Amino acid sequence: MEHSDVKILSSEYLNRHPYFTARKDSYQTATGKIVDPYYVVELGTCVCAMALTENNEVLLVKQYRHPIGRTIIEIPGGFIDNDETPETAIARELAEETGYSFSSFHELGTTAANPGVLNNYTHLFLATGGTKTGDQVLDHNEEIEIMLKPLEEIRQMLQRDEFIQTMHALCLHKAFQFLDNQR
């Protein structure tokens, strides 16, 4: 959603890369205040999912995240390709990262991770009915360990703040709300 009373005065790209595009903007607010410079990092739209197998286990991925210098436990997800819908993208990401296919997808909402700096959104999903249908097909820079955990253990991990990736924690929270409302 754009704010029609804000005027972009200038916009200059400092770096253009598929994973990191940086821009320096100057804009005027509705009250006339000039904000110069304002830095924006452009990223593609993402997807993530709490992926529930037909055995009521949640698929987790464990991987090293260089920006924070830690190996962390996350839920599967990634970027949406240009020709994909969010649902197509999460089905592809789940298959690539885990080798599992799912019978249904429930979109749980959309979030902006850090709208003070980042311009992208993440679509949150609950995927259910997962079955192992193939092997992982990872990008050259990915090393992902797959973990399966009982649903209730995930709820406890979430309550203990063991998921530090905020979009993933929000997705898990929303997935549990959805599941609780189905009972």
pLDDT digits (tens, 9 = 90+) for 110-126: 999 899 999 999 999 99
Q: 148: phi > 0 → left, psi -120 to 50 → alpha, else beta; which?
A: beta
Q: Could you tell me the maximum CA-CA distance found in the chain, to the nearest angstrom?
A: 58
Q: Return the pLDDT at 183.
A: 76
Q: Is 158 left (phi over 0), alpha (psi -120 to 50) or beta?
A: alpha
At 75, phi and psi to the nearest 5?
-100, 155
Task: Label each residue of 82-143 as H, E or C.
Answer: CCCCHHHHHHHHHHHHHCEECCEEEEEEEECCCCCCECCCEEEEEEEEEEECCCCCCCCCCC
- Structure confidence at residue 2 (pLDDT): 55
pTM of the model: 0.92
> What domains appear along the chain, each with residue ranges and CATH number?
7-42 (no CATH), 46-182 (3.90.79.10)
pLDDT, tens only, 136-171: 888 888 889 999 999 999 999 999 999 999 999 999
pLDDT of residue 13: 96
Torsion of Cα atoms, 181 then 104 then 51 then 106, to 10°: -50
**81 DSSP 8-state letter:** P
Mean pLDDT calculated for residue range 71-99 = 96
